[in-house]
Structure 1
């Protein structure tokens, strides 16, 4: 089978760009409008996207930049509703290993996976920010290393719980009265450093076995966690060279874990301003950029540099000062610094450039130019697919679906119809064999 580009759609109803809610095309209340999210999901499915992705936060904070991100909808609740309005589109929701217990996480995602017919994915995050910590009985956030140690064990427990029932555990024979084969129900019996969980989980396995595991860390700890656990990795790069380094490093780490590198998909984020011509795309970029309030831009920079950068008193048309070390998003802090230094950006120029993509790749051009960029990264060892971040909605998504998707299809790089009905099938990922069924089969084969 010819390798194809995989595509996720990152579609917060409030928009990606910090000023997107001010754009005349976008509803100002999109973040909390169910109908708007339904429309976006249907649009993404029309474009044959693999999945609708949503990030999530656990605090109200203006350091994320922009009023559109002050409040929104909890992703799993939203996706349960959207799954009833779609047929093939997957749904990747963010949930925190820092502030959730494994049993809760396993139960919620298993439920979404069953409701959607096997179209759920879990974006594993460790949740930075002091504001989030103060909402969960802490005075300060846990150190970066501690969060990742907890995350590794959290994922391991969740996967044990997802294997509580073997695929054929439920008999449901009305004539005999046999409902469940109890030999195919298993407890987790986990006792570790951070968690003690007996199990079993009270949700059955779904048509895709269990939700797809997604991860987005780029620090050393993040890479280690991704290589050991992730099936899809979202990553942020502003140039192809660093993307290629990350791609090669992760694939090597995955192989070192005894896993198949082809079963771990690396999908950098891309924020495209698409026009029928480059001039038209540039006009769209300039129009949205002009809507940024300086205070929102500065707040965005502070949030992305770990909440440690106070720009009070600095000339925004001057250079970005050094940011103190953070226990927050270390890799994103480093990326923002890199973008500023490589482009010699002032504070204003920097927040204007990252206002849509937050360190992900931003491209302004025609459909052909956008497709050229995606093809180059895909064929030159930088990506297996992309997480598309339309700058504003719904027009940014419509532009990509109507202009870029046909160009990718013309080049034979993207599907013309869905391959299957589950997220795994469409991503080309293998079905996860239940560990208990596998152990029984191995024991029988050894007899």
Structure 2
């Protein structure tokens, strides 16, 4: 009996007007690109109808810069926008990009956990470990820290978020009216973070994930430090590899790093980014690519640009997705309720273990002390 075909994973990088810098000039203008919701609801529903694994919202925490003056950039906060999309969809994963270098672990833990509960287990956090100039300008920060400092800070941040997510187990919510007890403090796992960059103490005011499972973690990057970080923490890695050979080399390396961290290599997914240009034949697609590239340097742009959202996405779902389904390479229906399950990942209970060894909590609680190193 032959093995079932390996399944393709599809995530939509939801940008305001598609991937091509000139696409917006062929569309009717709308304020939704920057700050609305209806446009994004339409695309989210299309993606779910096509049975995509997830919507991924890339984000830069920062002020407008010069490129933002030439094309629309979605300005809405990704977690808030995805929370709204969660109420308009039922199955698709919702990946929010948020930094691990700015802000504080408590606020990040609470926001992502809230999204996971609102969506019934469909939230994911794409962890950013870089710091762009627009971010430094917006937040009044100094120069970009060196790589060692950035990754020490990110490790501490994510470790603290992970500990906070585990600090209120679902079984601690006892709702015992006779005992006048809603939360059993002895079952909580208070966090005591006294790190190089952050301090926090206490218990997150809600369970850290839907049905006791950790929200899915994403990361992107190609440097050695980024790969090592992703192999420790991420469930899935975004990567841009221009040829299959480089993609295979990258995949083998990060899965080897995952195994070195005591993980099952199959529990680290590698998702290469694709800039899709469609055509009825390969020759037609290549011709369209040439036309698009030429238009980047021509003003005014021609009105024939079709690789845009949502029009180009409809073409992709009707053509490419349907073909993958016919070949048995992509689902026709969602099989599970949560994003983690639909990605085929192993369960990841929130209370799988403390970030560091327990250190004498109060009221019988198992207190977690963390300084920022753990998988």
Is residue 2:173 matched to residue 1:257? no
Structure 1 counterpart of 2:56, from 42, 53, 58: 53
Structure 1 counterpart of 2:346, from 405, 417, 430: 430
SS in 2 for 1:189: strand
Q: Mean Cα displacement is larger for which, 76-85 or 394-403?
A: 394-403
SS in 1 for 2:170: coil
Structure 1 counterpart of 2:279, from 275, 286, 296: 275
Is residue 2:162 matched to residue 1:246? no
Confirm or deny: 8 A CA contact 1:50 1:426 kept in the other structure: yes
Confirm or deny: 8 A CA contact 2:32 2:38 kept in the other structure: no
Q: Distance in 2 between matches of 1:290 and 1:65?
A: 21
Relative to total residues, which structure has the larger helix share, 1 or 2? 1
CA 1:287 to 1:436, structure 2 compared with 1: closer, same or farther past 3 Å? Answer: closer
Confirm or deny: 8 A CA contact 2:213 2:349 kept in the other structure: yes
State how many pairs are aligned.
347
Q: Distance in 2 between matches of 1:294 and 1:199?
A: 58
Confirm or deny: 8 A CA contact 1:56 1:94 kept in the other structure: yes
Q: CA deviation at 1:27?
A: 5.5
CA 1:29 to 1:81, structure 2 compared with 1: closer, same or farther past 3 Å? Answer: closer
Q: CA deviation at 1:241?
A: 1.2
SS in 1 for 2:191: coil
Query: What is the aligned-residue RMSD (CA, Å)?
Result: 2.6
**Cα distance per residue 1:22-60 (max 9 Å; x no partner):** 124786853433101000000000111111001111223
Q: 1:94 aligns to what?
A: 97
Q: CA deviation at 1:149?
A: 1.7
Is residue 2:33 matched to residue 1:117? no
Confirm or deny: 8 A CA contact 2:33 2:74 kept in the other structure: no
Is residue 2:151 matched to residue 1:235? no
Q: 1:405 aligns to what?
A: 321
SS in 1 for 2:218: strand
Q: CA deviation at 1:144?
A: 2.9
Structure 2 counterpart of 1:199, from 181, 199, 202: 202
Confirm or deny: 8 A CA contact 2:15 2:73 kept in the other structure: no
Structure 2 counterpart of 1:417, from 333, 336, 343: 333
Q: Mean Cα displacement is larger for which, 286-295 or 198-207?
A: 286-295
Q: Distance in 1 between matches of 2:295 and 2:212?
A: 43
Q: CA deviation at 1:135?
A: 1.8
**Cα distance per residue 1:316-349 (max 9 Å; x no partner):** xxxxxxxxxxxxxxxxxxxxxxxxxxxxxxxxxx
SS in 2 for 1:421: coil
Q: CA deviation at 1:291?
A: 3.9
Is residue 2:224 matched to residue 1:220? yes
CA 1:186 to 1:135, structure 2 compared with 1: closer, same or farther past 3 Å? Answer: same
Structure 2 counterpart of 1:133, from 129, 133, 136: 136
Q: 1:19 aligns to what?
A: 22
- TM-score normalised by length of structure 1: 0.72
Q: Distance in 2 between matches of 1:282 and 1:139?
A: 45
Q: Which runs of 4+ in 1 moved over 6 A?
A: 436-440
Q: Distance in 1 between matches of 2:113 and 2:187?
A: 17
- TM-score normalised by length of structure 2: 0.85
Is residue 2:109 matched to residue 1:106? yes
Structure 1 counterpart of 2:289, from 285, 294, 299: 285
Q: 2:183 aligns to what?
A: 180
Q: Distance in 1 between matches of 2:292 and 2:8?
A: 28
Confirm or deny: 8 A CA contact 1:38 1:82 kept in the other structure: yes
CA 1:207 to 1:23, structure 2 compared with 1: closer, same or farther past 3 Å? Answer: farther
Q: 1:395 aligns to what?
A: 311
Q: Distance in 1 between matches of 2:127 and 2:291?
A: 35
Confirm or deny: 8 A CA contact 2:278 2:307 kept in the other structure: no
Confirm or deny: 8 A CA contact 1:94 1:122 kept in the other structure: yes
Confirm or deny: 8 A CA contact 2:116 2:215 kept in the other structure: yes
SS in 2 for 1:258: coil
Q: Distance in 2 between matches of 1:253 and 1:215?
A: 14
Q: Distance in 2 between matches of 1:391 and 1:254?
A: 36
CA 1:143 to 1:262, structure 2 compared with 1: closer, same or farther past 3 Å? Answer: same
